[in-house]
Structure 1
């Protein structure tokens, strides 16, 4: 099995990645929304707007 980030051979301790570095890169992609799927669903837009409006002052 190869690492989905760099294509090197995976290491058991970090599967499915080859190293902590690649595992951390993948986590960063999840956290910053790189893997998010865009949606045009009106309900999703409303939920996102509500979340922005409910965020503590200074965070939006």
Structure 2
């Protein structure tokens, strides 16, 4: 579990309350992105989550 401590989670938010969390891995794997939209009325795609749920998924990504 020590490898998970080296994972970086970077929040990208160009528009307020809309953006993504980028999960960067220390071993060179490709980054994984989780997209969020905190205003439910603006969610145009069903895979968009609110930021709290999105960050939770980013903190425990499945191994690839």
Q: TM-score range by the shorter chain?
A: under 0.3
Higher relative contact order (CA 8 A, sep 6+): 2
Which is greater in Rg? 1
Per residue, is there more helix in 1 or in 2?
Answer: 1
Scaled by the length of structure 1, the TM-score of the pair is: 0.26
